[in-house]
Structure 1
Amino acid sequence: MQMTVSEVLARFVSETDFSALNNDNVVAAKTTISDCIGCTVAGSATEVGRIVRRVAQSSGGEGKATIIGGVSGASAQAAALVNGAAAHALDYDDILWSLYGHPSVTVLSATLAVAETEGASGRDLIQAYAIGVEIIGKLGRAVNPQHYEHGWHATASIGVIGAAAACAKLMRLTEKQIAMALGIAASQASGVRRNFGTMTKPLHAGNAARAGVFSAELARDGFTSSLVAFEGEFGWARTLNARTVPDSDGLQVMLGKPWELTEPGIVLKRYPSCGGTHCALDAMIAIKDQHNLKLEEIERIDCDASPFAHKVLLYPRPVSGLEGKFSMEFCLAVAAIEGSAALRHFDEAWINDPRVQALLPRISFNPRADLEPAISADAVPAEVTVFARGQAFSQKVLVPSGDPRNPMSTADRRAKFMDCADGILETDVAEKLFNDWERLDQVAQLDELLSPLRPQN
């Protein structure tokens, strides 16, 4: 008798152990986990992080999990919610193109909360994280781009499934219980893209992480779900406008062969803005640097990009820092002025900067069919042309910096982590923390990595 999707996924979760990961997989997992921890630290100090933390902490519920920048002794659900929202608050976190979204903010935030609660090791955390990312990548390959283009925020609507799987692994659920947890998670899939550029977008990630924990907890206590919750009529795939309904036989062949961690691999963000801006930002910064262009020399900027970018970048004239992260025009204006796009640029002061406001009307953002990615997107290509000094300076970028094919160096990753921690952690604490998370597979207890992330009295 053919297994269902839930049963195939549950068997993969149950039978996969750390030995299934090769060295490249482990290094990739450690790299992305470390990056997401830095993003969570930075996000904990934002208004998004503060509001969600305050509401979650006031709701009570005790446990053994850490809310980064908040309390220890929180419930796993509360920690997953707050840390997931904080991790995504600045849109500085990683991308998995097969998912069409951000894998770590959901999977890691849930996994970390449960791993701490269960007394898991660093290797246990890596194993569960890799399993969760693998599942959401393979599901993403089946359902996208139609699922995403229909309006679903795949980070949450698919991410919740990986979060539940990872938590179930750490809780050592039986194969049957894992299948139930996945079906429960399928009914908690949510997140609409119209909320991009608002506080609700990062809430999608936190809520999906929380729902993943909740699904596994319910299943552990005997809660049930349909075994055909994914592929059945009125199930997850058809309801959420999937390109294809996931096939159990196909999943059996694909899971872990190869691992999503290394194929296509996870993109680390160099800029704290939507990934749809990154190729264009690389191009703009390269032009400015190569030709030493001054702002007063720039007559206009034309940006041709993948049509996909127009479906994501919703704010040609942003009025807030959050909207600015989803504005190609604003990002290019900042890069033209500063030669960079950093955390400090995405606030109301920069939105209202007279230089930005003067440049915005002279920036065009156009879709171009030959820059459209394949079905499983692997970047958002762009070509930028700057008109200055009576000349046209052009640069095309197909793969952004931070992509596994154009990776950030360890020094670059360290600098990003330190930027995220600036003003929140002492410099020596942040430097040690980066080094410690880089050796996650050697850590027996997670407390030594998490204690510096709790407020020190």
Structure 2
Amino acid sequence: MESLTAEVGRFLADIKYEDLPPDVLPMVRNAFTDTAAVIMVGIDQPVTEIVRRTLVEPAGVAEARACLSGRKAGAPEAALLGGAIAHSLDYDDQSMSGHPSAVLVPAILAEAEVLGSTGAEMATAFVAGYEVWCELWRRDREYHSKGWHPTSVFGAMAAAAAGAVLHRLPAERAATAVAIAGSHAGGLFSNFGSMMKGYHAGMAARNGLVAARLAAAGMSAGPDAVENPQGFLMAFSTSRTPDLTSPSKLGKEWYLPKHKLLIKLHPTCYFLHRSFNATVRMLADRPVQPEEVESVEVHMGRGQVTCLVYERPQTRWEAEFSGQFGIAAAVLLGKMGVPELADEVVQRPEMQAFYPKVTLVPVDEVDERDPVFSPSESVTMTLKNGEVLESGPITSVPGHASDPLTVEQLWDKFRECTVKTHDEAEARELFDALQKIDSLSSAAEIPTVTGIFRD
């Protein structure tokens, strides 16, 4: 029987655009579109200049447009920069306990420019990377509790898979690319609430491309590096009981139609979106003043509570991982967009005074769509006069796989994210190109963003 590592390689060598389920293509187009949007809104984040000036420009290679700008960089460095920016505000999409598009899209756009790949090949590479991510993730899913960031653990493997498809590597070489990426994988949960979380996505994008390039050049790696008892799956397993033996489902069952992308309408960890929305909706029917509130209990998945570690956030980075901030934003601000995720807002005395009123109550029941979540959440608010407000169960928010954004809603987010980098006509041109990514003849058809990196 073929090893799992070899099965992955064979899937990557065989996958073709014509084989993709038609219902995944709108999700692929939205992934490219939304990722470009969150890169543009994150262009002015501190991590951008740190990575660009420290790692990207000193490399001195000019292969691909960095973040679709007029400045070129080596493809791995362009992927690093794009991924780090895409995840810098935590505004990028989510699935499989992580952030696949922030890794895959920058890697694919960069390497596609070097290789002259078609849009169909880019779309195929995205699906291939996504499917490999899911095939590995399903074998032991509780990674946060061991201290890993799944985005940079599985992202490196997924980007290597996408790179192998773009390079058209034969099965053995494609398997080697993934095996090499296993030695590049990693990223600490303890770095959540800092710039490093965004950097993890860029790191995975870069490392995946490096792995694919090394495999293409003839580098060797363990033929069973994924499933070996001392290999990838065991090394990252929380329980040390990962599924090492079941056959791969790659190419037999498609994961993307089941584990769909969740597109965000708020630039924070997705784990606090449902309770924020539930509170806003609840207070629309019964407005309250912050000083009227005695306490708030939020019932959510234990895996979510594990990640929302900042009970008293002091910075915007910490607020991204604070259920207390989400509820305070709902009560005091009524919104939670990019302007609200700012240190001066997080530190307002009235916000700081509200945080201690909020308690997160973990729920052990898990959602079969992603076991880090509970199937639903609820918010119970007790007022000082004894009145109790109940949100009732909430299972999704707009942008969730069960309530996907329309093209018009996605355009609204895109336009808002690009307001500092594009006029509306330029934004619409970029949006429309990305919405037909799989029909483009090459990445060169995607418009260049002329308003960034002009120094």
Output the TM-score relative to the length of structure 1. Answer: 0.93
Q: Residue 63 of structure 1: CA displacement?
A: 3.2
List runs of 5+ in structure 1 lacking aligned partners. Answer: none
Q: Deviations over 1:182-224 (max 9, x none)?
A: 1100111110101000111111111111000100111111101
The equivalences for 1:320-339 within 5 A come to 320-339=315-334
Q: Partner letter of residue 283 of structure 1? A: A
Helix, strand or coil: the match of 1:68? helix
Whether the 8 Å contact between 2:268 and 2:320 is mirrored in structure 1 is yes
The equivalences for 1:296-445 within 5 A come to 296-370=291-365, 372-374=366-368, 376-377=370-371, 379-380=373-374, 381-388=376-383, 390-395=386-391, 396-445=393-442
In structure 2, distance between residues paired with 1:57 and 1:188: 19
Q: 1:123 to 1:454 in 2, by over 3 A?
A: farther
Whether the 8 Å contact between 1:317 and 1:329 is mirrored in structure 2 is yes
Q: Residue 113 of structure 1: CA displacement?
A: 1.0
Q: Partner letter of residue 61 of structure 2? A: E
Whether the 8 Å contact between 2:11 and 2:171 is mirrored in structure 1 is no
Q: Which residue of 2 aligns with 1:178?
A: 174
In structure 2, distance between residues paired with 1:374 and 1:130: 21
Q: Partner letter of residue 47 of structure 1? A: P
Q: Which residue of 2 aligns with 1:8?
A: 7
In structure 2, distance between residues paired with 1:352 and 1:203: 25
Whether the 8 Å contact between 2:118 and 2:440 is mirrored in structure 1 is yes
Q: Which residue of 2 aligns with 1:104?
A: 101
Helix, strand or coil: the match of 1:433? helix
Q: Residue 248 of structure 1: CA displacement?
A: 6.1
In structure 2, distance between residues paired with 1:392 and 1:419: 37
Helix, strand or coil: the match of 2:257? helix
Q: Which residue of 2 aligns with 1:95?
A: 94
Q: Residue 257 of structure 1: CA displacement?
A: 4.1
Q: 1:6 to 1:453 in 2, by over 3 A?
A: farther
Q: Residue 360 of structure 1: CA displacement?
A: 1.5
Helix, strand or coil: the match of 1:271? coil
Pair 1:266 & 2:265 matched: no
Q: 1:190 to 1:92 in 2, by over 3 A?
A: same
Whether the 8 Å contact between 1:30 and 1:439 is mirrored in structure 2 is yes
Helix, strand or coil: the match of 1:114? helix
In structure 2, distance between residues paired with 1:104 and 1:355: 36
Q: Residue 325 of structure 1: CA displacement?
A: 0.3
Whether the 8 Å contact between 1:111 and 1:129 is mirrored in structure 2 is yes
Q: Residue 387 of structure 1: CA displacement?
A: 3.0
Q: 1:61 to 1:173 in 2, by over 3 A?
A: farther
Q: Partner letter of residue 393 of structure 1? A: L
In structure 2, distance between residues paired with 1:122 and 1:248: 35
Q: Which residue of 2 aligns with 1:55?
A: 54
In structure 2, distance between residues paired with 1:349 and 1:174: 53
Q: Which residue of 1 aligns with 2:133?
A: 136
Q: CA RMSD in A?
A: 2.0
Q: Partner letter of residue 187 of structure 2? A: G
More divergent stretch after superposition (153-162 vs 389-398): 389-398
Q: Partner letter of residue 75 of structure 1? A: G
Q: Which residue of 1 aligns with 2:75?
A: 76
